[in-house]
Amino acid sequence: MNETGITFENVRRNFRRADGREVVAVSDVSVEIKAGEFVCLVGPSGCGKTTLLQLVSGLLSPTAGAITVGGAPISGPGPDRGFVFQKDSVFPWMRVIDNVEYGLKRRGMPHDERRERALRYLDLVGLSDVAKAWPKELSGGMLKRVAIATVFANDSGVLLLDEPFGALDYVTKRQLHDVLLDLWVDAGRERRRTILFVTHDVDEALLLSDRILVVKQGAMADDIALKAERPRGVDSLASAELLAIKHRLLAHLGLEPATGSEA
C-alpha cells in the first residue's frame, strides 16, 4: 500500500436524530481503494455516500471499525485529503486567487511560491482572467472551477468530491469532467491522486471512473471495474461494456428490473 490508498475495515457510523432515533448511515463497510484510482460512489439518496466521504475527510469518525489512508489511521482532517462539497466550497469574502492560495498559506508556503502555484492552477482551469475577482462575480460553473483549482493546488494525495457538479448545466458539467480528468492525470506529477467522487449521475460515473462502488442502505452492494479506454465520450457510453454497466447501475437504483448481475 503506498501513500494514498484507502482502506475501510468493518466501518460503521450511527447518528442519533433529534427525535432520539438511531440511524445507521454506514453499516459494515470493508473495501480497499488503490492509490491513484478514480472511484465513483453511486447509490440511492440517503444510502450513506456523503457519510463515507466525511469519514475519510476526518470530519466524522466511525462508530466502529477503522479507516486508513496510506496505511495510517485517520485522526481528523489533514492536508493529505482535500474535499469539494456540492455547496459552499469557496469563501465568499476572499478574492478568487486568495481562495486558491488559502490552504498553501496556512501550510506556511512563502507568498511568491504560493501565488505562482495558485495562478498555474487557475490557468489550468481556464480562470486566469478572474484571479482578482470576488466569488459573487462568478457563475456557478466558474465557482466549481475555483474549487477544483484550490483542491488540486493544495496537492493532496486524496481528493473527496461530493457531487461537485450536481447543480451544473450539461455543457459546463462535461467541460469540467475534462478539466478534472486532465488534472487527475497531471503529466508532471509522479503519482496520480486517489479520487472518491459521489454522484447521482450514472453517465458521469461511467465517463469518469476506474471503478464504481454501489452503496445501498449503508453497505457496499456492488463493486464494478471499468476497463473502457480513456478519453471517454458518447461513443464509449454506447459501447457494450459501459452499456451493460449502465443497465446494472439502473437496476441497482430501481429504475430497471434486476438482471442478476447486480446482486
Judged by the rule CB under 6 A, the positions of this chain that interact with ligand ATP are 15, 17, 23, 25, 43, 45-51
Q: Where does 7-125 have alpha helices with state H?
A: 49-57, 96-106, 111-124
C-alpha cell at 136: 459573487
Q: 103 or 164, CB closer to ligand ATP?
A: 164
SS3 108: coil
Distances in Å between the Cα of 251 and the Cα atoms of 40, 48, 104, 236, 257 are 17, 19, 44, 20, 6
Query: Which residue number, 5 or 48, has a Cβ lying nearer to ligand ATP?
Result: 48
C-beta of 23 vs 238, nearer to ligand ATP: 23
> At closest approach, how far in Å is the CB of 125 from ligand ATP?
25
**Helix (H/G/I), strand (E/B), else coil: 219:** strand
CB of 106 to ligand ATP, least distance (A): 26
Nearest distance, CB of residue 84 and ligand ATP, angstroms:
14
Q: In terms of CB distance, is 47 or 160 closer to ligand ATP? A: 47
Alpha-carbon separation of residue 11 from 27, 31, 193 (angstroms): 7, 9, 23
The smaller minimum CB distance to ligand ATP, of residues 127 and 198, is found at 198
- What phi and psi, each to the nearest 5 degrees, are found at residue 24? -95, 100
- Minimum Å gap between C-beta 111 and ligand ATP is 38
| Least Å from the CB of residue 225 to ligand ATP | 22
Closest distance of CB 46 from ligand ATP, Å? 4
Q: Which residues pair with 48 in a beta bridge?
A: none
Nearer to ligand ATP, 18 or 171 (CB): 18
Give me the residues paired with residue 31 across strands.
8
Q: Is the peptide bond prior to 231 cis by the omega test (within 30 degrees of 0)?
A: yes
Q: How far apart are CA 63 and CA 26, in angstroms?
A: 9
What per-residue string of b and e applies to 240-260 under the rule 16 or more CB within 10 Å gives b?
A: eebeebbbbbebbbeeeeeee
- The smaller minimum CB distance to ligand ATP, of residues 47 and 196, is found at 47
In the complex, the smallest distance separating the C-beta of residue 55 from ligand ATP, rounded to whole angstroms, is: 9
